Structure formats: C-alpha cells, structure tokens
C-alpha cells in the first residue's frame, strides 16, 4: 500500500491529470431496471398447485405480512394434507427476508427477481397480493431466492427411535419399538410447524398441534389433558393408530432432494401417555366428568374402542352406561386382533382401566342374542349402541377355499389373542402351527397374521416360512410401509401383484396356492376388475392358506324382527352421519359401520355419544 506524503503539493499542472477521466468508461447504467442477481429476493412467487396451505410461512413471518386467504376453487383435502388456503403478502409489511421461502415445507413459495413496483397514492390495494406462478405483475420468468438444501430451515428427519433388531424380535412377542426418551421426544416435538393438518385429518380430530407443543414445552400432563379431550384410547392409538395425521403432516413430502419425514405424532402420543403416571391420567380423565346425573341408561354392545369411547363420553355427560361383551375381556379388536408385539396387553389394560374408573360397567362373556335378547335391552335401556365390530373374515371364494386348512386371518388372530387371556405363555396358540403358510392380502391384518405365525414358526421349527401375496402392486399395499419393512426384515416373503386362483389340494391336505400375475386391478371407471396374465402362473407351496382380504360383521344377534325393521345398505346397517339407525332407540358405531380402524372407531364412538346425548336431552 502506498503511503501518503501530504506535504507534497505537486505541480501546478496537477489538475490536468483529470483529463484522463474523459477517456474512462462512464459508470452510469442505462435508464430502466437492471436484471437482478440470480438469487435476488424480489417479489413473491407461489406455486399454487404445490402449496398445501399449511400457513407455516405465516408463522415465520416476522412482520405479520402474510394473510392466509381461502381460494375456493382449489382442492381442500386435509386428510391428504392439503388445504385451499394460500398466502397473500402485504407489501406494506414485507421485508423480503425470505424466511418464508426457507421454511416452506414443500418449497412452493419462492422469490422472484422482480423488484419494481410503484403505484399512485390511491392504488395502495396493489400492495396486497396473492402470489402466483407468474409473480406480482404476471410477467415473471425467472426465480430468484429459492429453496435449496442449504437454506432449508426445517429439520426434515425424525429422531431415530430405538427398536429391536429383526433377529432378536422374530421369535417372541415383545414390543418392538422402545418409545422416545424424553430428550428425543422434545426434539421430535420441536420439529412441528403447528400447521394443524394432523388435527384436520384425524377422524376424531385430536388436538395434535397442541399436545405436540405441550410435549415440546416439557409439560406432558398438559399433553395428556389435550389427548383426553378427544381420545380415551390414547395408549392404544399411541401404538397402533393408522396415523392419518402423519400422512397429512406438512413435513411428509416426497418432492424434496433432502427428503422429508413427517413428525412421529403417534410415537409422541405414546411418549406422553407413558410419561404420565397412570393414577394421574385417571385424575385427568375424571376431571371432566359431569357432577349431575341424568338418570338415563344406555346399553352398549361390544367393549371395543367404539363402544368404550361412547361409554366414556356418555358417562362423562352423567348417563348410566352398561356394556355387554361377548368375550372374556374388554378391548375388542384391539385385544383380539392386534398382536402383542404391536400392542402389549398391559397397555390396553390401562386405557380400559381409565374408562372403567369413570364408572362404566362391563358385563363379560355375555353374547347378545343368545344370553340376552335385543328386545330385552330395548325394554331396559333408553338407548342401545351396537358396536360389535367386524368379527369374521371375508373369503376369496376361490376353489378350495372351503378346506379346513384355509383360515380367515381374524379368526386366527382371535385365537392367538384369546390365549393370552389365560396364560402368559405365548407358545401355544391353540391350533397347529403350519410349517409353511401363505397369506392372501396386503393390509395390516395380513401383516399381523403373517408376522404372528412367523414368530410361532420360529419358536417351534426354528425357521420362518411365510409368504404374503396380494393383488396390489407393492407401492399400493394398504399396509403401513413400516409393517412391510419389518415383515421383510423378519424373513417373510412378500410377493405383490398376484391374483389367487385356486387352493391346490393333494391327498386332502393343502398343497399350495395357484396364482396369476395381475396386469391391472381396476378398470377404466375405477371399479375393482382385475385383469390377469394367465401365462404367468405361479404356485406358492404351503400347508396353510390364510385369507386376509377384509372383514365383515355378524349381525345375527339382532334377531329376525329387528333385522326386518332396520334399513340396510350393501350388507351393512344403514346409519345417519351421527350413527343413528332407522330404529329410534338403536345406534350403531365402530368398525361394523365405518370399516376397520381404531381411531375411526373412537371418532364414531364420540359421534354416537353426542347424538344420543342430544336425543336424550330432547326427551327430557
């Protein structure tokens, strides 16, 4: 660096040096806006198709510049994680910090390189803008600041939960996942952007954003309070819920290079429920119980999630509730359908215990229609809820499916479940374990029976020989991805796109299942009409074939007269939205109305209880 000598005045001709500036290139830019830099933060763009309306941008905006606007013609489907809300930007507030871009879970909102907007004093409305693909003036071609992996502000990946290795778990029924540690739970909860998609998509509208926030704040009791607002089966749902919330979660995105996993809402629920002492949960549940008694009596048939939820709600409202259960213990399908490694009995027991502690009475081993007639219930009670679930499996009705070694999955699961009623030992399910078996169906029930039998096979024969085959392609399997993954880990073979044609018999014993390759499952109108490639035939050898393609209800308990009175729809009892049947004292809820799913059953229980409460209040 040149040092200055300021005593040096220089020559008198010094100013002439300045003539050189005439020869220099002028720095003046042409009039009119220059193109901005590649990542310039100009006016907003929003991909209306990509945007899911989660309003996360609104939450991060430090200037309260973003208003969510309802755009009616867009898709509004919170169950699949999309709302018809779109951000509108107030340029009287915005500071172009691009935090909205960095936090957007889907990368829909972006900034353009456009930066000129002027308006007359009376046109200030133009400062409030609904950004679209083409920017503020509909002329934008180039994007400016966009989302990249580096500037993404969201934590895209779940906390890794400890779980048993496949080799450790395959020969026993111990619970597979460990659950979150407190630190993990707080970290996982902190990932939530509080969009509320989970709340909207949940059948029973659990307050997931609230309880996640409570967990994040370290207040698990508050979280449990939020859960008991809507779900008395939080222990169960914390383990085996179909978690539509996680499907809908804003963070459940596929189109991003960095990947994006939804918040583990189900595991957070489980964490909070496990973290609060059982007695405290009882207190929380009881705190909402109404002090007044209405004097109304309600009978509920079936002590499954739907029936017990309705019982819980009704008893909270001050009614008297009597539950009748055909089997020896409460829980319904959650006990007799879900294997122990997914839902340990003592966990289910806790949920049931909370409900019982509210004052619900259950009469076990009482089959309506056999032990007590429906008419009797009608006489003795003000209202009856039919929450009998789906007890019997559907059959494929292919040749050979009436053989004694062709079983339905629910039936076997019930046997496995019943065993645990009496003896803790898991060795003997009460039927002979086949050395090899093939399961037809790609749903969770198929996985459950497949994995349960695989465990027995491992215990008894030391090896797993289990095949699950379904008509769907692998990506369309109805079962949870994690179920499929774990099944494969446990040595189960899964073969997609096979249509079962015949159960092959040999010497009166099942030899195997003959299948054809599926070309397409649905026809052009979307109806179920599978097309097969008959040349691609395959035989799965097995001693037992298990059908897990769906369940149905046994409704013979109703009696002929009542069956006549009721209106039916496609083999199911026709009910209104509130679960009321066409008979004014009978309501129906749960799987037998709405298909197999715990959380739907819970939602149904609430609806029915609400409806009954209203109906009874009117009577009073």
Partner 1 sequence: MNCEEINLWLDTLLAEIEEIEVTRKSERRVRVDVPASSLPALLELLKGKASYVHLSAISCVDWPDDEEFELVYHCWSYEAKSLLSAHTRIPRNSAQEFAHYVSVYDIYKPAAFFERDIYEMYGIYFESSPYMEKFILTEWNGPPPMRKDFDAEQYVNDTFNWADYHPQWLQELEEDGGGIAVRPEDIRL
Partner 2 sequence: MRPENYQLVALPNSDEYELFIGPNHPGIEGNYAFKLKLDGDRVISGKADAGYLHRGFEKLMEGRLWIQNLAIVPRICVPDPVPMEVVYSLTVEDIEKMEVPLRGQWIRVMQLELSRIASHLFTFGGHAATTGMYTPSYWGVADRDLALDLFEELTGGRVYHIYNIPGGVRRDIPNGFLDRLSDYLDYLETRQNDYDNLLFTNQVFVKRARNVGVINQEQALEWGVTGPNLRATGLAFDVRRDDPYLIYNELDFEIPTQTAGDCLARILVRRDELFQSVRILRQIIKHLPSVKGPVRAPIPNPLAWNVSMGESYCRVESSKGELAYYTVSDGGPKPYRVHVRGASSMHAVQVLENMAVGQRIEDIAQIMFSLDACPPEVDR
Partner 3 sequence: MSKIGNIPVNAQAGKKRTNPLAGVFDELVQFCQSRSMFMLHYCTGCGAIELPPAMTSRFDMERLGIQPMVTPRQADILLVTGYVSVKTLKRVILTYEQMQSPKYVIGICSCTVNGGMYWQSYATAKVLNEYLPVDVYIAGCMPRPEAVIEGMRRLMRNIEEGKGHAWKDYFQRYDYYLGNQQHLFGDDWQTPTDIIGEARHYGLETEQTYGEHTRILEQHQQPLEPHKMRIKF
Buried b (16+ CB within 10 A) or exposed e, 38-57: eebbbbbbbeeebbbbbbbb
| Between 11 and 120, CB nearer to partner 3 | 120
Contacts with partner 3: how many residues (CB under 8 A)? 29
Closest CA to 188 of 86, 263, 261, 285: 263
- Asked if 16 interacts with partner 2 (CB under 8 A), we say no
For residue 616, give the 3-state DSSP assignment: helix
Among 43, 91, 96, 477, binds partner 2 (CB under 8 A): 96
Point out which span in 96-104, 165-173, 273-281, 590-598 binds partner 2 (CB under 8 A): 96-104
Shortest distance, position 104 Cβ to partner 2, whole Å: 12
Q: Which residues contact 269 (CB under 8 A, 6 or more apart)?
A: 206, 208, 211, 227, 234, 237, 238, 241
Distance CA 596, CA 553 (A): 11
Shortest distance, position 27 Cβ to partner 3, whole Å: 5
C-alpha distance across the termini of the chain, in Å: 97
- Cα 596 to Cα 310, 338, 406, 458, 566, distances in angstroms: 17, 12, 22, 29, 22
Among 193, 220, 433, 453, binds partner 2 (CB under 8 A): 193
Shortest distance, position 28 Cβ to partner 3, whole Å: 5
Distance CA 488, CA 64 (A): 49
Site for partner 1 in 187-206 (CB under 8 A): 194
- Asked if 5 interacts with partner 2 (CB under 8 A), we say yes
- Asked if 117 interacts with partner 3 (CB under 8 A), we say yes
- Asked if 43 interacts with partner 2 (CB under 8 A), we say no
Shortest distance, position 68 Cβ to partner 1, whole Å: 4
Closest CA to 39 of 115, 105, 119: 115
| Between 126 and 363, CB nearer to partner 1 | 126
Q: What is the contact mask toward partner 2 in residues 141 to 170, using x (rule: CB under 8 A)?
A: ---xx--x-xx-xxx---------------
Q: What is the contact mask toward partner 2 in residues 210 to 249, using x (rule: CB under 8 A)?
A: ---x--x---------------------------------
Under a CB-based contact definition with an 8 Å cutoff, are residues 605 and 305 in contact?
yes
Shortest distance, position 59 Cβ to partner 1, whole Å: 6
Site for partner 2 in 98-117 (CB under 8 A): 98-99, 102-103, 111
Q: Which residues contact 428 (CB under 8 A, 6 or more apart)?
A: 419
**From the list partner 2, partner 1, partner 3, none, which binds 155 (C-beta under 5 to 8 Å, kind-based)?**
partner 2
Helix locations, 255-363, DSSP H: 265-275, 278-286, 305-316, 333-336, 345-357
Residue 259 Ramachandran class (φ > 0 left, ψ -120 to 50 alpha, else beta): left
**From the list partner 3, partner 1, partner 2, none, which binds 125 (C-beta under 5 to 8 Å, kind-based)?**
partner 1
Among 17, 38, 49, 62, binds partner 3 (CB under 8 A): 62
User: Looking at the chain, how many residues does it have?
Assistant: 620
DSSP secondary structure code for residue 569 in this structure = E
| Between 19 and 31, CB nearer to partner 3 | 31
Closest CA to 37 of 147, 96, 113: 113
Q: Residues in the site for partner 2, rule: CB under 8 A? A: 1-2, 4-6, 8-10, 14, 17, 27, 36-41, 56, 59-60, 62-63, 95-99, 102-103, 111, 144-145, 148, 150-151, 153-155, 187, 189-194, 213, 216
């Amino acid at each position: 660096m040149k040092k200055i000598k300021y005593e040096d005045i220089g020559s008198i001709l010094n100013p002439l040096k300045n003539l050189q500036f005439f020869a220099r290139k002028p720095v003046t830019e042409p009039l009119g806006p220059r193109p901005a830099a590649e990542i310039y933060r100009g006016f907003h763009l929003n991909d209306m198709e990509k945007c899911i309306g989660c309003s996360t941008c609104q939450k991060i905006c430090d200037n309260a510049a973003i208003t969510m606007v309802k755009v009616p013609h867009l898709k509004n489907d919170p169950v699949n994680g999309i709302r018809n809300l779109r951000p509108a930007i107030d340029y009287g507030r915005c500071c172009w910090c691009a935090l909205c871009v960095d936090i957007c879970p889907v990368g829909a909102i972006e900034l353009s390189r456009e930066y000129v907007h002027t308006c007359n004093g009376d046109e200030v409305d133009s400062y409030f803008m609904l950004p679209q693909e083409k920017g503020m003036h509909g002329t934008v071609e180039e994007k400016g600041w966009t989302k990249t992996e580096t500037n993404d502000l969201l934590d895209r990946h779940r906390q890794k939960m400890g779980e048993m290795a496949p080799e450790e778990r395959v020969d026993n029924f111990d619970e597979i996942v460990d659950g979150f540690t407190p630190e993990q739970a707080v970290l996982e909860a902190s990932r939530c952007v509080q969009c509320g998609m989970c709340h909207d998509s949940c059948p029973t509208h659990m307050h997931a954003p609230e309880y996640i926030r409570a967990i994040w704040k370290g207040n698990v009791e508050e979280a449990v309070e939020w859960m008991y607002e809507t779900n008395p089966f939080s222990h169960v749902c914390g383990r085996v819920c179909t978690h539509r919330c996680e499907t809908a979660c804003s963070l459940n995105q596929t189109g991003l290079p960095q990947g994006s996993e939804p918040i583990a809402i189900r595991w957070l629920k489980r964490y909070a429920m496990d973290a609060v002492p059982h007695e405290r949960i009882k207190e929380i549940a009881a705190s909402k119980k109404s002090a007044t008694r209405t004097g109304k009596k309600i009978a509920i048939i079936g002590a499954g999630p739907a029936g017990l939820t309705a019982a819980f709600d009704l008893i909270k409202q001050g009614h008297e509730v009597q539950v009748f259960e055909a089997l020896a213990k409460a829980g319904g399908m959650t006990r007799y359908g879900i294997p122990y490694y997914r839902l340990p009995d003592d966990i289910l027991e806790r949920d049931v215990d909370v409900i019982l502690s509210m004052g619900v009475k259950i009469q076990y081993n009482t089959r309506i229609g056999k032990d007590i007639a429906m008419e009797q219930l009608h006489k003795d009670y003000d209202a009856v809820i039919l929450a009998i679930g789906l007890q019997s499996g559907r059959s494929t009705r292919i040749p050979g499916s009436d053989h004694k070694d062709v079983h339905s999955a629910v039936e076997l699961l019930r046997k496995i479940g019943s065993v645990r009623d009496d003896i803790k030992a898991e060795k003997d399910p009460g039927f002979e374990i086949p050395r090899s078996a093939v399961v037809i169906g790609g749903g969770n029930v198929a996985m459950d029976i497949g994995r349960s039998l695989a465990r027995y096979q491992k215990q008894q024969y030391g090896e797993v020989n289990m095949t699950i085959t379904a008509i769907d392609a692998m990506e369309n399997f109805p079962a949870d991805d994690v179920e499929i993954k774990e099944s494969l880990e446990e040595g189960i073979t899964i073969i997609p796109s096979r249509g079962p044609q015949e159960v092959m018999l040999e010497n009166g014993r099942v030899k195997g299942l003959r299948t054809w390759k599926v070309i397409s499952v649905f026809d052009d109108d979307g109806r179920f009409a599978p097309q097969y490639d008959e040349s691609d035939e395959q035989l799965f050898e097995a001693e037992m074939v298990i059908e897990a393609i769906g369940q149905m209800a046994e409704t013979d308990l109703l009696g002929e007269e009542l069956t006549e009175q009721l209106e039916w729809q496609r083999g199911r009892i026709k009910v209104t939205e509130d679960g009321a049947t066409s008979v004014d004292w009978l309501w129906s809820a749960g799987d037998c109305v709405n298909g197999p799913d715990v959380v739907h059953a819970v939602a149904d229980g609430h609806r029915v209880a609400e409806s009954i409460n209203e109906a009874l209040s009117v009577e009073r």
